[in-house]
Structures are given as structure tokens and as C-alpha cells.
Amino acid sequence: MKTDVLIIGGGPAGLSAAIETASRGLDVTIVDEASKLGGQLNQQTQALRPLPSVHEPMRGFELADKLIEQVKGFNVRPLLNHRVVGFYADGSAGITDEENVFPVKAKKIIVASGAAEKAVAFPKWTLPGIMTIGAAQTLINRDFVMPGREAVIVGSSDFAMETAIQLMDVGIRVKAIIEKQNGALAKEQEKVSELSRNGIPFYFNSFIREARGNGQVAQIDIELPDEVITLNVDLICMDGGRAPILDVFYQLGCSFGFQEELGGWVPQYSNTFQTDREDVFIAGNAAGISTQGPLLLTGMIAGISVSEELQAISPAEANEIRDAIWKELGLLECKEVYTGRVKHLENFTSPVLKDQFIS
Amino acid sequence: MHIEKHPVLGRQLHTPVTIYFNDQPYQAYTQQSVAAALMANEIKKLGVSRKLVQSRGLFCSRGRCCSCYMTIDGEDHVRSCMTEVEDGMRIYPNMDDPEVRREIDED
Ligand code: FES
């Protein structure tokens, strides 16, 4: 199979890259291992903000539907339930439908592989009933299944607070929020107050000492600053943060740099979102962990740059649009993340340390 | 428990189907993953780990962690969080290395 642009990952960044390229007449193929486009947006019932100026305020699944509807009008071929498993010597991607592997030869590749949630380890953290906050959210909003009856949340990011509220809304009793720092980490303090108002205790400077259960979690010991308490729970949702998914970049042989604010090791890229492999561009959480609005913008930048390289748009026009999107990114993206991103770009064009490249 | 009425999304459970876990019938709905449908029926232990034989269940629900391997319709080592239920599906826990790997080992 041949295509102009191969997009790996059909979440918000991949879809916005698809819209930018396909709307300029390019032939686009999207690979995603899920059975539906939209990525994690599909199970997000919370209101998203801030979104780029072209979008009205909406919830995650509404944004997914809107983007999916938009790509339908263009020459976009979605390969759902498909995965990239490697690359051939001639640069073609090896794609599997879980039975056969076939090559797809693309003029340019945009990798928008997203992020994976990290675990919080404590003794017996692998017992069934212990899962990531994202998994609990998926069960409730995609599968319409109660993940448990009595829960604790480990962590207090915005995402953890949103999930805690979603658990409560379906009738799960949230017994505590456990945070190892000395205060809640969420930027949106209203969510923290909403949970406190509902009588949910926040245990700061605290952690789970051990989980117990026969075949599934039933009880935990929590180490508070001056005592240890025991709670009966059948659900533990852990928020260990997220890290970019890098497998595809390893296979492509891209260089990496370490950028704490972007989520750790991230492929190196320039302000056009081109990696050090000329035919490979990057977008979304893979280029640094961010929120939904900025993720869309990074996908747009990658899409514009690819359109420029394939002469679907003039360099002058591309520069003008890219500058405008970068400005909007500066406004929408949380300050630390944006600063980290700018530092990351500088390392690409003028590396401070040679050993930052670990490819 | 299945969520009959979601506070934001309303009533959305699609077509009911019957799935079999260890040859026992359970009710599920077509949009659910196998792991989720089992959880709705109070089944959280989906198998055991290969080395230490400890209980494993759904962890990431994103196809990343491979903690949810099960045998589905005769196929070993399928990620049950990424597989949607179908009527009459026969599901068994992952208690062992998959068949295919054992055959290779014997060569
Ligand atoms: S639960 Fe992680 S792969 Fe299925």
C-alpha cells in the first residue's frame, strides 16, 4: 500500500494532523490499535479547557466526534485495530491486522503515539482491582461498567480529581485521596474543594504501605504522618503521571533528549515538529505530555510542516500559519510545559551536551 | 455491575449478548471489552503471572501493560481489555504460557 502521509495514532493530535494534510489534497492513512478513532478523548466526559480558538467549549467525547466527522470529508483511510510492528529496510512501515503483516510506503510519517500511564509501586500493587485512573475512567465512560464499590485514589493531579468526581457520580464511594506531597497537586482547585465538600478526606504526606486480598484487593494499610490506618476497599486508582510512548521512535532510530517538564525522555524535534529523521514528524503527547488543547495545536503544526514538505502549501504560507499556531500554543499551554518545550527545541538546534542523544 | 444510566452519557448500553467464562454464561453488552464485561460480573482475576503465579487483572485498559491476557475463542494470550465481546464468546483465564510458545520450546 502507498500513501502520502502515514499517521501513527488516531487520537486528538493524529486527527488534527490528518485534517491539516488531507484538507490540502494529500492522501492520508491513519493507523490505530483501537477500534475507534479519537484516542483517549472518547472516554473523557469532563469539559475540556482551554481549547484552540476554532473550537467552542466541549467535553472530550464531543471533541472526538467532531474531529472524526471532519476527517470523514477528506481522503483519509483509517486502519483501525491495526498496529505498526516495525519498519522495512526501504522505510516502509510494517503494519499488522493481528493476523498478517503488510508494508505501507509513505512519503512522510507523523508519529502521534500518545502517552502511557505510569504505576505507583507498593507491596502487592499488582492485585486485580488496582488500576490506573485512566483505566477506571475507561471502564465507566466507555464500557459502562462499575470498576468497584469502595475506592481510594493515589495521587491528586487534575486528572485524578476529575476521575474521583466521575467515580462519585456513578455511585462509587471514594474513601480517601492519598497524596505523598504536603498538598493537592491539581491546578484546578475547585475540584479539590468539591471533593472536600463531599466529605472525602485528603491524606497528605501519606502513602499505601501494603495492599491485601485473596485474588483481588480487599484491604490496604495507609501510612499517615503519625499513624497507620486500615481501609477496606475493592478499587485503588493510581495516578503515577504519564510518559510519552516511544517504541516507534526507537524502531525509527530517532534521537532523544531528557526534558523533565515534557515527561522525561522525548524524541528531539525542531519548531516544525520534524525529528532528526527527515521523513519523520512528531505530534501530541509523544512530543511532550500536555493537555488536550495544546495537543491539537502540535498536531496542526506537524500537519502544516508535512504539507509544506510535500508542496501542498507554500513555504511562506506554512511559516505564517506555523507562527500563529506557536503563538496560540504559548497562550494555551501550561507555562512550565511550554518553557520545557522551548528548551527542548533549543537542544535540537544547538545541543548543549552531546550525550543528550541516546539513539 | 453494568452502568444502566450514566450521569453524563445517559442510557447507552447496546445489544445484550451472552459470553462464557470458564463455561459459565454471563451477560455483557456489545460495546464492552472482555475484561470490562467480566468485571461487571464481579470477575476481576483474569489470570496469573507466569513466573510467580500471582493474580492478575485489568490494569491500564489501554493495551499497554499486558496484565489482562486471556484465552478467547481458542486463541491464547489475547489482551482482553482491547477485545470487544461477541455473542457466544468462550473465555478462559490465562493460567499458563500460551500454546504456541510451548510448541516452539519443544523444537
Ligand atoms: S489492561 Fe493493560 S493491556 Fe489490558
> pLDDT tens, A61-112?
999 999 999 999 999 999 999 999 999 999 999 999 988 999 999 999 999 9
Tell me if B64 and A245 make a contact (CB, 8 A cut-off). yes
Beta carbons of A242 and A115 less than 8 angstroms apart: yes
Tens place of pLDDT per residue across chain A (359 aa)? 999 999 999 999 999 999 999 999 999 999 999 999 999 999 898 888 889 988 899 999 999 999 999 999 999 999 999 999 999 999 999 999 988 999 999 999 999 999 999 999 999 999 999 999 999 999 999 999 999 999 999 999 999 999 999 999 999 999 999 999 999 999 889 999 999 999 999 999 999 999 999 999 999 999 999 999 999 999 999 999 999 999 999 999 999 999 999 999 999 999 999 999 999 999 999 999 999 999 999 999 999 999 999 999 999 999 999 999 999 999 999 999 999 999 999 988 776 655 555 54
Q: Please list, residue by residue across B68-84, b when 16 or more beta carbons sit within 10 angstroms of its beta carbon and e when fewer do.
A: bbbbbeeebbbbbbbbb
C-alpha to C-alpha distance for A243 and A124, rounded to whole angstroms: 23
Cα(A82) to centroid of ligand 1, in Å? Answer: 16
Q: Which three cell numbers stand for residue B21?
A: 467464562
pTM for the model = 0.91
A80 touches chain B (CB under 8 A): no
3-state secondary structure of B68: coil
Q: Searching chain B, which residue's CA lies closest to the CA of residue A128?
A: B57
Beta carbons of A18 and A76 less than 8 angstroms apart: yes
C-alpha to C-alpha distance for A136 and A332, rounded to whole angstroms: 28
CB atoms within 10 A of CB A79: 20
C-alpha to C-alpha distance for A163 and A153, rounded to whole angstroms: 9
First to last CA, chain B: 45
Q: Which of B13, B19, B39, B94 to mutate to test the interface with A (most CBs of A within 10 A)?
A: B39
Nearest to A74 by CA among A4, A13, A9: A4
A139 touches chain B (CB under 8 A): yes
Residue A342: the pLDDT is: 95
Helices A12-22 and A60-72, axial angle in degrees (round to 10)? 30
Residue A54: the pLDDT is: 86
Q: Which three cell numbers stand for residue A12?
A: 486528538
Atom of ligand 1 nearest to the CA of B60: 2
CB atoms within 10 A of CB B10: 8
> Torsions phi, psi of A110, nearest 5?
-115, 120
**What percentage of residues in chain A have a pLDDT greater than 70?**
97
ipTM value of the model? 0.92
B interface toward A at CB cutoff 8 Å?
A: 1-3, 6-9, 12-13, 29, 31-33, 36-37, 39-40, 44-46, 49, 54-64, 67, 81-82, 84
∠ CA A13-A286-A271, rounded to 5°: 80
A221 membership: H or E segment, kind and range: strand A219-223
Residue B10: the pLDDT is: 83
Pairing of strands B16-21, B24-29: antiparallel
Beta carbons of A120 and A241 less than 8 angstroms apart: no
Please count the residue pairs, one from chain A and one from chain B, whose beta carbons lie less than 8 angstroms apart: 109
Q: Which three cell numbers stand for residue A295?
A: 495537543
The rounded Cα A30 to chain-centroid distance in angstroms is 17
Instruction: Tell me the Cα Rg of chain A.
Output: 21
> Torsions phi, psi of A44, nearest 5?
-95, 110
Residue A31 CA: distances (Å) to CA of A26, A100, B78: 16, 15, 20
A130 touches chain B (CB under 8 A): yes
Residue B106: the pLDDT is: 52
Sign of CA dihedral A122, A126, A127, A129: positive
Name every chain A residue with its beta carbon within 8 A of the beta carbon of B37. 143, 145
C-alpha to C-alpha distance for A290 and A40, rounded to whole angstroms: 13
CB atoms within 10 A of CB B11: 9
Residue A298: the pLDDT is: 98
C-alpha to C-alpha distance for A204 and A217, rounded to whole angstroms: 22
∠ CA A240-A112-A125, rounded to 5°: 20
* Mean pLDDT value across chain A: 94
A18 membership: H or E segment, kind and range: helix A12-22
C-alpha to C-alpha distance for B79 and B56, rounded to whole angstroms: 12
A145 touches chain B (CB under 8 A): yes
Low-confidence ranges of chain B (pLDDT < 70): 99-107
A64 touches chain B (CB under 8 A): no
